[in-house]
Structure formats: C-alpha cells, structure tokens
Amino acid sequence: MNIDEQHIWHPYSKIPNTVPSHLVESADGVYLNFKNGNRVIDGMSSWWSMIHGYNNSYINQAMKRQIDSVSHVMFGGLTHQPAIDLCEKLIKITPQGLDKVFFADSGSVSVEVSLKMALQYWHNKGKINKSRFVTPRGGYHGDTFGAMSVCDPQKGMHHLFKDVLPQHYFVTQPTLGNTKEALADLENTLEKSHNKIAAMILEPIVQGAGGMNIYEADYLKGVRDLCDRYDILMIVDEIATGFGRTGELFGCDHASISPDILCLGKALTGGYMTMAATLTNSEVAETIGVLMHGPTFMGNPLSCSAANASIEILLNSDWKKRILQIQSLLNLQLLPLKCEHNVVDIRVIGAIGVIEFEKPLDMKSTQERLINDGVWLRPYGKLLYTMPPYIISDKELTTITQAMIGVARSF
C-alpha cells in the first residue's frame, strides 16, 4: 500500500492524494534528487525559503555544532547565545526602530502575534474599540484563524471559514499604476472607521501567495503616512519578501519606511528549520507590557543557529548584485512571452518571475512536463512562477525559464 498517498495530508490536498507526491531522497545546491532517479532544479526554493540552496556546508556545520551543545530548551526563564545573537542581527538589518523581538515558530504564528500586539497596544491605551484590521485585497498572511481573517476574502483559500472569522476592512489592491486610487480608497476607509481600526497589515512590494502581485513603493510610503495621520499601527508582513528576495534586504527598504510591527519567516533560517519572528519598536513594546503569547518551541536553539548561519552567508555575499542579475535574466527571458495568446501578464521583481495565464493550469500534467525538463515548480491557479535559490547559476536559471516558456507554448 502507498502510505503517503493513502494516509498523509499534504498542503491543501485530500486523502487519497490525486496528484502524486515525488519522493525526495536527497538534495544539494539547487537540486532535488528524487528516488526514481530524477534530478530537478528547485525553482521554488521550497516555498521561497531555501535561499542558499540545499545541504549548505556552513549551515550544516553550524547546526551540527548546536546539536552537540543543546538542541532545545524552554524559553520561559531560560535563554541561550544563539537567540541573543539572532536578536542582535535582526535588529541591525531590519528597518530602523524595530528593536524588540518575539521569536515565533512559524510564519502564521508570527502574524497572530503581530495582530495580538496591535490589539494589546490599543487596549492599554484605553481605546478598546480599535479592534479591527484593515488590509488590501489579494493578501495572504497564513492559515491560522487570525491570519486567515486578513487574507483576501474572496479569492483566498479560506472562503469556507468566512462566517466564523472576525470581519475586517478590505481596501483596493495596489498594483503597478493604481497607487493614487488605492491610497484614496484606504484614506476613505480610515476617515470613516479609524476609531475601530487597530492596524493596517500588508505584504510590502509583492503580495505573494494571494496572487504574486507587484505594486509601487509609493503605495507603501502613502500607507505609512495615512497610518500616522489616522492613528493606526502599520504591520508589514515580510515573511515572503524578507532577506533579499525583491532586490532589497526587506520590501520596506524600497520605500525607506519602518513599520510599527514586522513579521519575518520563510527564508529566516535559509529554509532549514521552521522559525519566524515578530519585531516591534520600543513605544509599542512598552505600551503592551506583558505580551500574551509563548509557544513551546519559541526561540529553538537549532532554528536560531540555522538563522544565524543563513544571515551570515547572505550578508557576506554580494547578494544584491546577484539578485539584480537574476532579475535581468528573468526579464530578458520571460518578457517576450507577453505576446503569447494565452499569457495575460509577466511580472518580474528581484528573484521572482511570474507568468499569469488566461486559464488555470492543470497541476498534474504541468508538473510532469516541468519535471521532464528537469525543473521543480508548483503551478498555482493561473500562475506559473519561479523564486529560485540565490545561488542558482545563469545556466540553471535558463533551464527554469525555458521550461516555463515550454509550458506557455504547450497550449
């Protein structure tokens, strides 16, 4: 019997699985090695996290040293050097003013914590009516209940739960070219309802899982101004965009702004371990006082050691130059597809290349075709996109773009 197919839930799937899972035996650099002998280039960086590739000897060594020292210890009443080092690093590299760090165990949890921070903040200021959130349509912030409630209400994956989710305010999705209108809609909402709103939450520059939508830095600047003017906190979810993916270290850096609360995850540990973080500034932290959250595996030392090693590799590399080279190559190779009859849009920023088709792609046949071309990508509705590890060579990246072009020309 096939245990995986009959008994294991994979993300957003049913049992038995309709699309077979490929058994990964090992992985090195940008390559996944399947048990059946296929060796494919991972154009997804394992959901955007594996930025330095697999089996990186520097991260491996750091984690092995940590295992031999202490793998886990509760964070209540105890602390350890890897957490202290990571905290220092994050304060140094993230936008100005964010110097209070909460270590969470997954991206969704870091979003929950950010929402709680905002609620506790207003509660302690005596403004208990400020208990709602505002967010642009088309966002994605995770799969737990609080996070789900600020995902896109229509197109998102959580439509089913809409009746049990708290109701928040959704505003016009920013795109390339609509900054003025999108900000006007936000201002309109804030003007009417700012007394009920604790914070705005949004992904900076690129909305990821909600549809791979790129927008202008001026929108972020405008949001910062409006949040200040209408007295609401600004939460930026950098779980997908953090650590260089968009060509700046953080999405906020495109607009030179600092949010009041920042969420990090995915690439934080170079894809090695599950870990996330929520950062805020002193004013918010002091107003909150006791923050009511504390996961069992908070600040796990092994995760911290992976994160420290990953950030060291990133900062010691010429990451910006490489990301911009990846961006040029993606532009060069994907933009010509704009004139294909079935292609609606091509979007590129940093190490992100997206083809939006007219119709949804068939997951199974598209994936088979891509694997035959030596590439691992996960088509997503009408989207086929790549977010490769930063260590990818031009030749390997071209293998990915050629495979994407192959899909575009196959129907």
With CB under 6 A as the contact rule, which of the stretches 107-115, 156-164, 174-182, 360-368 interacts with ligand PLP? Answer: 107-115
Site string for ligand PLP, 128-147 (x = CB under 6 A): ------------xxx-----
User: Is 140 marked active-site?
Assistant: yes
If you search the block for the tokens 């604790």, which residue do you land on?
198
Least Å distance between CB 118 and ligand PLP?
A: 16
With CB under 6 A as the contact rule, which of the stretches 101-109, 168-176, 303-311, 318-326 interacts with ligand PLP? Answer: 101-109
- The whole-angstrom separation of Cα 152 and Cα 173 is 10
DSSP SS3 for 202: strand
Q: Which of 146, 156, 204, 208 binds ligand PLP (CB under 6 A)?
A: 208
User: Is 237 marked active-site?
Assistant: yes
Sequence letter at residue 342: N
For ligand PLP, give the closer residue by CB, 302 or 371. Answer: 302
Q: Which of 108, 179, 303, 386 binds ligand PLP (CB under 6 A)?
A: 108
Q: Which of 45, 56, 94, 106 binds ligand PLP (CB under 6 A)?
A: 106
The first and second tokens of residue 8, run together, are 């294991």
Query: Considering the rule CB under 6 A, would residue 259 count as an interface residue with ligand PLP?
Result: no
Alpha carbon of residue 224 to chain centroid: 20
Cβ-based neighbours of 277, under 8 Å, separated by 6 or more? 90, 101, 102, 103, 104, 110, 263, 264, 265, 268
Catalytic annotation, pick one of 100, 230, 260, 266:
266
User: Is 266 marked active-site?
Assistant: yes
Q: Which of 42, 152, 237, 248 binds ligand PLP (CB under 6 A)?
A: 237
Q: Which of 107, 136, 242, 270 binds ligand PLP (CB under 6 A)?
A: 107
- The whole-angstrom separation of Cα 125 and Cα 224 is 21
Length of the chain equals: 411
For ligand PLP, give the closer residue by CB, 56 or 114. Answer: 114
CB 142 within 8 A of CB 127: no
Cα pseudo-dihedral 277, 281, 285, 291, rounded to 10:
-10
The first and second tokens of residue 20, run together, are 């077979």
User: Is 28 marked active-site?
Assistant: no
The first and second tokens of residue 74, run together, are 């509760």
Measured between alpha carbons, how far is residue 297 from residues 11, 52, 90, 109, 146 in Å? 22, 24, 19, 12, 20
For ligand PLP, give the closer residue by CB, 226 or 235. Answer: 235
For ligand PLP, give the closer residue by CB, 170 or 230. Answer: 170
Please list the active-site residues.
Answer: 12, 140, 237, 266
The residues binding ligand PLP (CB under 6 A) are: 106-108, 111, 140-142, 203, 208-209, 237, 239-240, 265-266
